């Protein structure tokens, strides 16, 4: 049985990511909206809450020729200060290769209203990057669902409750690829994805286990660590292709690998 090396896995991930990027670009090239649509879209959105804290857990699993090659489990915390226009996300995950070697990785992202700061820790090394966002962005501080914002072509839409909250559910299934999102007030509370080709199967899922609204968020969470030097972040492939100003917290799923 052949084994897939790290570069092969990375190659498949890149194909999946690029396919998503090209798909997003195609969505953005939809016909120009009517004047009525423009008027509607420019209206100021009602703030659904003054703050929100969301705790999520995620897992992923990759098989090659029926053998588990890569798996990961982890958690994510979102601290959304709508009133102050600030946001923080904390990630932690355990990654296992060939059921043997396991690494622990963490990431913190802090948006202070002008810049997005990223601190990553992997194999005992901490690094810091900063993305300038002073020109603004085309989402609200709480929205993270690209599937809802871009109105994915071919998606089926339904309604379900999750954690007692009314969600809009978006589902797409081109070929053997299946993706599904549960979105509440622009926030993805649950997501599932399945990718499959002749030799490889990749499954990823994430779901919220706790949601708190309108509570007080500790201001210290938005203070940058004093022991980290922040270097300008290099644009990712998605950022180079994306002529819109989409903030880093907007995504199609729990793609934490894009940050590490």
Alpha helical stretches, state H, the chain: 6-28, 35-41, 146-149, 237-241
Burial of 236 (0-12, 13-18, 19+ CB in 10 A): middle
**What is the C-alpha to C-alpha distance for residues 49 and 182, in angstroms, rounded to an integer?**
19
Are 137 and 157 within 8 A, CB to CB?
no
Parallel/antiparallel/unpaired status of strands 230-232 and 125-132: parallel
**What is the C-alpha to C-alpha distance for residues 112 and 129, in angstroms, rounded to an integer?**
14
| pTM of the complete model | 0.77
Per-residue pLDDT of the chain (260 residues; tens, 9 = 90+): 334 444 343 343 333 333 343 333 333 333 333 333 333 333 456 789 999 999 999 999 999 888 888 899 999 999 999 999 999 999 998 888 888 878 888 999 999 988 999 999 887 788 999 988 876 677 789 998 887 877 767 789 999 999 999 999 999 888 888 899 999 999 999 999 998 888 999 999 999 999 999 999 999 999 999 999 999 877 665 555 554 467 788 877 665 444 44
Would you state the pLDDT for residue 190? 95
Structure token digits, residue 69: 């090659």
User: For residue 134, what is the enclosing H or E element?
Assistant: none
**What is the C-alpha to C-alpha distance for residues 156 and 172, in angstroms, rounded to an integer?**
7
Would you state the pLDDT for residue 180? 92
Would you state the pLDDT for residue 237? 56
Closest CA to 90 of 256, 238, 233, 204: 256
Would you state the pLDDT for residue 171? 92
Secondary structure class of 151 (helix, strand, coil): coil
Contacts of 137 (CB under 8 A, 6+ apart): 245, 246, 247
């Amino acid at each position: 049985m052949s084994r897939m090396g790290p570069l092969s896995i990375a190659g498949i991930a890149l194909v999946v990511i690029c396919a998503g990027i090209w798909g997003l670009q195609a969505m953005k090239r939809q016909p120009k909206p009517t004047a009525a649509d423009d008027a509607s879209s420019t209206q100021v959105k009602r703030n659904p809450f003054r703050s929100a804290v969301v705790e999520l857990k995620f897992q992923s699993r990759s098989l090659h020729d029926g053998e588990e090659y890569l798996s990961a489990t982890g958690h994510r915390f979102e601290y959304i200060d709508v009133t102050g226009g600030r946001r923080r996300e904390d990630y932690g995950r355990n990654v296992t290769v060939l059921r043997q070697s396991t690494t622990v990785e963490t990431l913190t992202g802090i948006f202070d209203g002008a810049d997005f700061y990223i601190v990553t820790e992997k194999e005992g090394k901490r690094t810091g990057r900063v993305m300038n966002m002073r020109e603004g962005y085309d989402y609200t501080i709480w929205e993270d669902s690209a599937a809802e914002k871009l109105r994915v072509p071919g998606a089926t839409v339904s309604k379900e409750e999750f954690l007692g909250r009314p969600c809009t559910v978006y589902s797409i299934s081109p070929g053997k690829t299946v993706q599904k999102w549960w979105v509440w007030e622009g926030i993805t509370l649950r997501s599932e994805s399945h990718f499959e080709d002749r030799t490889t199967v990749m499954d990823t899922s994430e779901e919220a286990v706790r949601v708190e609204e309108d509570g007080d968020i500790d201001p210290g969470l938005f203070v940058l660590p004093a022991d980290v030097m922040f270097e300008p972040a290099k644009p990712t492939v998605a950022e180079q292709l994306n002529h819109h100003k989409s903030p880093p917290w907007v995504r199609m799923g729990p793609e934490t690998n894009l940050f590490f």
